[in-house]
Amino acid sequence: MSESDGPKRRKKKSEDPQAEPVQQGEIPGNAPPVEKTPVSNPWHSPAEESAQRRSARMDDVLRQRAMRARSPFRMGSSGMWGLAAIGVVSAWLISTSLHVLPANHSGIVTTLGRYSGQLAPGMNLTLPWPLQQVSTRETGREQVLMLPDKEAETLMLTRDGELIDVRSLVRWKITDLKSFTFAVPDGEAALRRLSDSAIRAGVAEFTFDELRGGRRQAELQQRVIGRLQRVLDAWKAGIAVSGVELTAANPPARLAETFKKIDKANEDARKNHEAAVAYAARIRYSAETEANAFDKAYQLYRIAPGVTRERIYYETIERVLRNNQVVIGNAGTGVSLPPPPGEKPAEKGGQ
């Protein structure tokens, strides 16, 4: 076999693009274009050739997908769901792990429901929920508890068996947040019930007039503060009571008009009593003044009786004539004297 007939020679001939078959009777230069068909490689199996063709088309597919990935408006549903999941997880981590507490606030940290520490004012980091949970509370400021919390009548029984409507307020603050959180289920509600009970016990130790008139309200407030603080310390509630104030102590609403009349009668009696006391004081002062003057005159009389008698006589005449009209004239001069008081004037020409 010659060199030109070898396999390599045949390969070159088959791969030569210029070697096109020419039909009989046709001129090669004027032949119409013939559609080319892919030439198979004799050195590769048909399966390898199909894999190469697929890899070439795979490059185009990957290039198109990369162009789609660069555009945010052509993102698929799976990419959108992935970004949404990342955003939700980030928000959950930030909101449950980062805690910023303002001034006068403290936080209680619980790990799986158990106490694990406290947070101070400022920025704090914890494990995310539900591993750790934080509850914050204002601790540095004094708080006010109104009793009752609504515009309702609160009747309490006094020592003398009367009913009185008492309104009060309790000033308190948290001294230990851990004890306040775990000692009782609801510290503020427990304080409200305890304050109402202590005030009722204190009201039962005083009479109606003592509380309504305000004479012993300060004593009642001190008793209520002491009773409240003793119970709270026994509970270890972490609460300090700084003050209790009675804002109102009125009779029942059904007896309001009756007590208004009673108050008016008491006010009139008080005014009359004050007027009587003032009148008695004036009479006493006048009597004491006259008695002192008589004592002085008696002392002078004992020293010089004659002189004292003349002085008393002149003072008496002066006092008598001070209020009467007196005309002094010579007898026989024709001066007419005015008639005495109570008599008609004499007729003209009479003596």
CA distance 97 to 91: 10
**Residues forming beta bridges with residue 132, ordered by sequence position:** 111
- Range with the largest mean pLDDT of 1-10, 88-97, 210-219: 210-219
CA distance 277 to 267: 15
CB crowding 178-189: b at 16 or more within 10 Å, else e: ebbbbbbeebee
Name the percent of the chain lying above pLDDT 90: 28
Fold of 143-251: Tetrahydropterin Synthase; Chain A (3.30.479)
**Does the pLDDT of residue 35 top 90, yes or no?**
no
The pLDDT of 235-252, averaged and rounded, is 91
Confidence of residue 227 (pLDDT cuts 50, 70, 90): very high
Confidence of residue 73 (pLDDT cuts 50, 70, 90): very low
What burial class does residue 126 get, using C-beta atoms within 10 Å of its C-beta: 0-12 exposed, 13-18 middle, 19+ buried? buried
The pLDDT of 258-267, averaged and rounded, is 90
pTM of the model: 0.54
**Residues forming beta bridges with residue 240, ordered by sequence position:** 173
**Does the pLDDT of residue 18 top 70, yes or no?**
no
**Does the pLDDT of residue 132 top 60, yes or no?**
yes
- Range with the largest mean pLDDT of 25-34, 127-136, 145-154: 145-154
User: Which amino acid is residue 230, in one-letter code?
Assistant: R
**Does the pLDDT of residue 34 top 60, yes or no?**
no
Q: Which has more pLDDT, 292 or 336?
A: 292
Per-residue model confidence as pLDDT tens digits over 176-197 = 888 888 888 888 899 999 999 9
Per-residue model confidence as pLDDT tens digits over 307-331 = 878 888 888 888 888 777 666 666 5
Q: Three-state SS string across 55-97, please? A: HHHHHHHHHHHHHHHHCHHHCCHHHHHHHHHHHHHHHHHHHHH
Q: In sequence order, which residues have a C-beta less than 8 Å from that of residue 241 and are 6 or more positions away?
A: 170, 171, 172, 225, 228, 229, 232
Q: In sequence order, which residues have a C-beta less than 8 Å from that of residue 3 and are 6 or more positions away?
A: 9
